[in-house]
Structure 1
Amino acid sequence: MRFQNHWQPQGGPTPFKPGDRAWPGAGIAQLPDPSTLKISARIEEAERGQLKMGQSATIRVDAVPDGSFSGGIDTISPTASLDFNAGWPVPRNFSVELALANGDARLAPGMGAVVRVAVGRVADGIVIPSSAIFRKAGRTVAYVRRGTKFEETPVEVSRRSGDEALIAKGLRPGEQLALKDPTLTQ
């Protein structure tokens, strides 16, 4: 249940308090229907072109054990907005709403979620954390463990998504990578 506000002539919307008058037709609370909950998310400007209405998504809710749900993109804002909380330079983001395929009584408004939308499939590939990729002298490299040291290895990145990157060339499965530049001294 979510309590609503009422309108005061001086001060705008204010919460109801004991002693306030009720009148017919005035809303005092909202009871959300868990079968119609939607997920609100923001996507970076660079990813906007990869998404379309109705595209399927997987939604993971940390507060719900085994909380993995399926859904789809319901709306995408037509214009970008600036995200002043994300640092400099200020990135542009698009708002996206996703509809859950099936409701679940364990879900509640305000819960945090992680949304994954598949924009393409790769049969075989090596996916590494983006933090394992570095730019050195105009080249893209990763540092691969060789014995007790890390060796600079040129790599070719075919796709990036958030904190992961798909490697097209340069690495083999099972290689251990540095997540911080080992050439920098502490």
Structure 2
Amino acid sequence: MPLLLYKKQVLEGVKSFLSSSATEVAPARSVPPAPGPVPVPEPPLRNKRSRVLWWVIVLAVVAAIVALVLRGSSPSGKTAKQANGDAARTAIVEQKDFIRRLRAHGIVEAVESRAIAAPRLSGQGLGTLIITKLVLNGSTVHRGDVLVEFDRQAQLRVVIDKEAEYRDLVEQIKKKEADQAAALAADETQLKQAEDALQTAELEMKKNEIVSRIDAEKNQENLDQARATFQQLKETFNLKRRAAQAELKVLQIQRDRALTAMKWAQGNTQKMVIHAATNGVAVINSMWKGGSFSDVQEGDEVRPGFPFMQVVNPGRMQVRARMNQADIGDLSVGQNVRIGLDAYPELSFSGTLQSLSAVAQTSSFSSRMRYLVGLYSINGSDSRLLPDLSSAVDIEIARQPNALVVPRDSVFSENGHAYVRVKNGSDYEKREVRLGAASNVEQVVVSGVEKGAVLLRDATS
């Protein structure tokens, strides 16, 4: 009988029952009382209790009928939750390509990149550099674009100071040369006068034959004194020239040093602006500041030589992942992989295992564990594909086309044989199967079941 007709008949039965009950309970108003002796009326309390009892019986009957109607609306007697539970506990045998994969986790890195570091300035007493302008992280840059600018006020002050020092030394050299020229002229004059005095004394000595003895002795003393004076001036003249040359050389060395420092300062000001050498994508590195790692930004202070940025080629990226030594037998160069990014689950790339490290390294968790480093190339590019992103690499170890595949939890073993429970009508029958390759979640069935069969999952439970 259809469900709608069944409900209709039940409701009509309820209505008829209520109407009959009301007829029995309600008193007859149209019949006049018969003549005769006056009947003795029942006590009011007894009539009230009877009516309450009737209504309780009526409500109980109605509740029972409604419960039957609700139960009849689901002939199988199962709720939606139970139905979903039954559907979740079954699986269908599929015929598809069985792929066995091995998962590894690694970090994305660029194959071609150019590190951008804070400039190493020339000179002494140079501290940190303040970033005043910085390109956005992940933005595309072209050759010649400005990547970063540093505060150059300190370098400009150094240029001005070194230039003033250089000019001062140049003027000191000019003054020293003028003073030395005047001193040279004075020394030459004094030396010439001493030479003339010597010649005069020698001429006076020729008169000794005709002069008195006292005058002859005086002429001899004058000659000795003139000769000694001339010899002394001649020797000191050369010493003064050497001393003057040394003083001038000292000033010239100081001038050259000041000139070199001025050129260094001018070169430092030019280093305050860094341009892109190649086309690529700008990637900002992290640095320790404020008690945690965070990206470098405008206003930060960086040390000279600190690599705070890199320009990478987005067309050539790779993943560096660690592989357990137990899985080395399943790996070979050239295997196809599928690479996904943890930050962007909807984004995935195909790739290839390019190389494996020749020497295993000790794991940080246990000295008995060893791992090898594998490099996996990434095919394709995307603006969201940047270095230092964590990724998952699914390595295709084996592939079996057109295989019957079932979930592993639908297969159970008894006495060394494999079985599944196949749906047959409203029940499940136990059936022996022959198994093939398996992965962590799927099992290949060689024989025993056919495509499209419904299996019971978690059959052992």
Q: TM-score, normalised by structure 1?
A: 0.65
Is the 1:53–1:75 Cα contact (8 Å) retained in structure 2? yes
Aligned to 2:396: 117
For residues 61 and 52 of structure 1, do their structure 2 counterparts lie closer, same or farther at Cα, with a shift above 3 Å needed? same
* C-alpha deviation, 1:52, in angstroms: 0.6
Matched residue SS, 1:35? coil
Distance 1:81 1:177 in 2: 45
Determine whether 1:137 maps to 2:415.
yes
Matched residue SS, 1:145? strand
Is the 1:142–1:152 Cα contact (8 Å) retained in structure 2? yes
Determine whether 1:126 maps to 2:404.
yes
> Which of 156, 159, 166 in structure 1 is aligned with 2:437?
159
Q: Which residues in structure 2 correspond to 1:35-46 (within 5 Å)?
A: 35-40=315-320
> Which of 354, 360, 370 in structure 2 is aligned with 1:74?
354
Q: 1:11-63 deviations in whole A, cap 9, x for unaligned?
A: xxx7478765421x211245555433333556677754232111222335572
Q: 1:61-90 deviations in whole A, cap 9, x for unaligned?
A: 57264x442210123456497798xxxxxx
Is the 2:422–2:454 Cα contact (8 Å) retained in structure 1? yes
Aligned to 1:52: 332
Amino acid at match of 1:149: D
Distance 1:71 1:57 in 2: 5
For residues 2 and 21 of structure 1, do their structure 2 counterparts lie closer, same or farther at Cα, with a shift above 3 Å needed? closer
Amino acid at match of 2:303: A
Q: Percent identity among equivalent residues? A: 23
For residues 169 and 54 of structure 1, do their structure 2 counterparts lie closer, same or farther at Cα, with a shift above 3 Å needed? same
- How many residue pairs match? The answer is 168
CA RMSD of aligned residues (A): 3.8
Determine whether 1:3 maps to 2:285.
yes
Is the 2:353–2:375 Cα contact (8 Å) retained in structure 1? yes
Structure whose residues are more often helix by fraction: 2
> Which of 10, 14, 22 in structure 1 is aligned with 2:303?
22
Is the 1:45–1:80 Cα contact (8 Å) retained in structure 2? no
Matched residue SS, 1:177? strand
> Based on CA coordinates, which of the two structures has the bigger radius of gyration?
2
Is the 1:71–1:99 Cα contact (8 Å) retained in structure 2? yes
Amino acid at match of 2:377: A
Note the residue ranges of structure 1 that are not aligned, 5 or more in a row.
7-13, 85-90
Aligned to 2:239: none
Is the 1:51–1:119 Cα contact (8 Å) retained in structure 2? no
* C-alpha deviation, 1:172, in angstroms: 0.7
Matched residue SS, 2:334? coil
Note the residue ranges of structure 2 that are not aligned, 5 or more in a row.
1-282
For residues 167 and 93 of structure 1, do their structure 2 counterparts lie closer, same or farther at Cα, with a shift above 3 Å needed? farther
Structure whose residues are more often strand by fraction: 1
Is the 1:83–1:92 Cα contact (8 Å) retained in structure 2? no
Higher relative contact order (CA 8 A, sep 6+): 2
Determine whether 1:104 maps to 2:382.
yes
Amino acid at match of 2:389: G
Matched residue SS, 1:119? strand
